[in-house]
Chain A
Amino acid sequence: MSYTLRGRLESRFFATLVVLVGACAVAAALPAFWPIELVALMLTVGIVLDMLLYSAIDYQPGWYAVPEGLLEFALTMGAVRVLGIDPPLGAAVAVFAGAWLATQALAQAGFPLLSISYAENGGELGRAGVVAGIASLAVLAGAGGFAWAKQPPTVHLSAGIHQGPLVITRRETLVGDRGAIVRGGIVIRANHVTVRNVAVLGGQNGFDVENVRDVVLDHVSVVGATLDGIHVRLAQVMVKGCTVASPAGYTQGIDISFAMGMGESMVEGCTISGGQEGIVTHSASVTVMGNRVSATSLRGIAMTEMSMGMIEQNQVTGSQGIGILCVDQSECMISRNQVSGTRSNPTSADLGQRGYGIESTFLSAAELSRNELYGNAHGIGTFSGGTVSGG
């Protein structure tokens, strides 16, 4: 096929319109906007390539669609990453592949049936192509406007100390100005809440998140909470870049519990020091990745009570009792962590508290890979039917 530039653009806009309808359906079903954002990026990448690269091709046999598709896929996914759209990879690949197949079906069969002179006209669709272009842009603009309207409002918390507890009961983004501190904790009781750059001082729990989904705690810090720094129950959260300093006593840095049916939570890039437990999960599906946990008095990181998840690339130092624990019928993938300086708990008669870097207890299954253990009282331990596999 020998496309004119106009033919390429009209064909692309028309195919995109068809794909957009599918993407809107997927977006409504999820619900999420990334399918539409992905299609918009595909269209943008395609138009740029049409104008800068493909327009130089005088004739392209059918098989050119494969390398062109791979190039567009690579550039689209690169743009997805740069723009932080963050769709699920498998689903994004499926949407792209579906769109590519639909486009090929249209180019090879649909358009020639729709317009009998399609090939002779270099892919130009005439009035239908122009209408399709306008319609595609209109759908994208409409979807963008809808997405914009659905964005939660952003609330700025000014610098200084604000008396809490602060209770959030609607979807919103709370952004702390530099030096914004809430005394007494923040309670989150709404879905789609993001808290960014806010420090919490004291309170029973620094953050109390219950019965909600899609909560993001981004670069928050908690100092001096008397129970949990971040306390999550029956909820799905993304915690990234946080700092928690817990006082001595029965305190925990982050506790995510009873959330197995709420979707996967994630704790990434946090620094946690002090307290009995650094990061602990009960009956939850959680990824614990890239955190630094130090000076806990019972366990550094623990997955308990039938939890499932990955514990990956964390640094656990100076824990008393246990560095990383998989317990109570949990299934843990523990890989590429550094665990050091774990020492025995002198106040406990529990054999498992004798300073194990990694421990699997009570019918739990820990799959180990490339962990570095040094300076611990004991290396790897199993108790009460717990198992470890790998190295």
Chain B
Amino acid sequence: MRSESDGHCYPTSFPGLAVRAAGKGDVGALFATVSNRYRPTVDEFLEHVEQLGEHTGWNDRVRLGWVDRVRSTEGGFAVDEHGVYQHVLLAPGPPGLAIPDELAADSRAVHAYQPHEFAERVAIVGAGMAAATEWLNALAAGSTVVSVRRREPERRPLNVPRVMFSRRGLARFQTADPVARAAQLRQLLGPSYPPGRGWDEPLADAARDGRFTVAHEVNGEQQIVCATGFLQGFRHSPLLRRLVEEHDLPTHDRWIELDGDCTVPSLTDGSRTLALAGASAQWAYPAADTLVGAKYSARRFLRRVRSCPTP
């Protein structure tokens, strides 16, 4: 998990996970976080989510339902048969796992996010965080790894450069013309994994022993692990695709064009709001598929709801 103290679900960024760890006696977390070295474990994060869920009564306050279609109507948006809502925030999540077409029918292929063991010789397709994790896992399992990649990964502690989490980096991005903006997005969302000896040393050791090599294509390995993430773009989501088609929303490449506050411009005005969150909001906020990104969308959505009179 590529997360730091701010990777939490509380509404305000303070107190973050490091401060809460310090409150439980781990004072070192404070020193670690001022130099960005604090990394909460998955267990700590899940415990935090569980506690927050209990504290907020999440399970009692959230109504589960299936939504296929959202359409503009008088008074707001019709959300399937669930009713008409003045303000809607769509966070449809990933539409599915991405597997390269040429490997879709290959019986040797398995996606990194699916349960799997490792064969003696394994090809791992991809070069991002999931791929890097698979390299280490496979090496630890005793496999020989071939990293199949089309381009070299960036080394970044977080999904995107830190400056892109704030207005300092966003201002120029959000005012760029669509072509330049899409190009920057493609570059920002390219494969990356964190720098550090924890990653480099096992790979260097394995490379010396001939157990880790890089190739441009799969070449007869016993097993192929597709560390290629999720399907990307609104066209893979039936909900978003229909929304675009029915309302003729402007798009660019795989993204729906959004305002800087993650709202759909043509469907948002002084009386109603339609906003996106998660990966589908990357046009507004490149790190939208992170916890910080989810809060970015949610805070702006909240601001619109508060400023909008209820009829």
Contact = CB atoms under 8 A, between A and B. Distances in A.
B14 A121 contact: no
A122 B172 CA distance: 13
Contacts of B163: 2, 58-59
Interface string B1-13: 0000010000111
Contacts, number: 64
Interface string A54-72: 0000110111000000000
Interface string B154-172: 0000000111011111010
Size category, B interface: 20 to 34
Contacts of B33: 62
Nearest to A3: B168
Contacts of B167: 2, 4, 7, 120-122, 124
A277 to B, nearest CB: 60
A103 to B, nearest CB: 15
A144 interface: no
B296 interface: yes
Contacts of A117: 296, 299-300
Given A62-B33, A62-B34, A62-B35, A116 B12 contact: yes
A118 B14 CA distance: 10
B15 interface: yes
A50 B237 CA distance: 45
Given A4-B171, A61-B36, A120 B15 contact: no
A272 B255 CA distance: 87
Question: Looking at chain A's contact residues, is the secondary structure mostly helix, strand, loop, or mixed?
Answer: loop
B14 A120 contact: no
B304 to A, nearest CB: 13
B36 A120 contact: no
B12 A113 contact: yes
Nearest to A62: B34
Contacts of B35: 61-63
A26 interface: no
A63 B15 CA distance: 17
A327 to B, nearest CB: 56
Contacts of A112: 12-14
Contacts of B296: 117, 120
Interface in A85-116: 108-109, 112-113, 116
Given A109-B14, A113-B14, A4 B34 contact: no
Given A4-B171, A109-B15, A122 B34 contact: no
B115 to A, nearest CB: 37
Nearest to A58: B163
Contacts of B13: 112, 116, 118-119
Q: Which of B6, B34, B163, B168 gathers most chain A CB within 10 Å? A: B168
Nearest to B34: A62
Given A63-B34, A120-B299, A2 B11 contact: no
27 contacts: A1-B166, A2-B166, A2-B167, A2-B168, A4-B168, A4-B171, A7-B167, A58-B163, A59-B162, A59-B163, A62-B33, A62-B34, A63-B35, A112-B13, A113-B12, A113-B14, A116-B11, A117-B296, A118-B13, A120-B166, A120-B167, A120-B292, A120-B296, A120-B299, A122-B166, A122-B167, A124-B167
Interface of A: 1-4, 7, 58-59, 61-63, 108-109, 112-113, 116-122, 124
Nearest 8 A/B pairs, CB to CB: A62-B34, A2-B166, A122-B167, A112-B14, A2-B168, A59-B162, A112-B13, A58-B163
Interface of B: 6, 11-15, 33-36, 161-163, 165-169, 171, 292, 296, 299-300
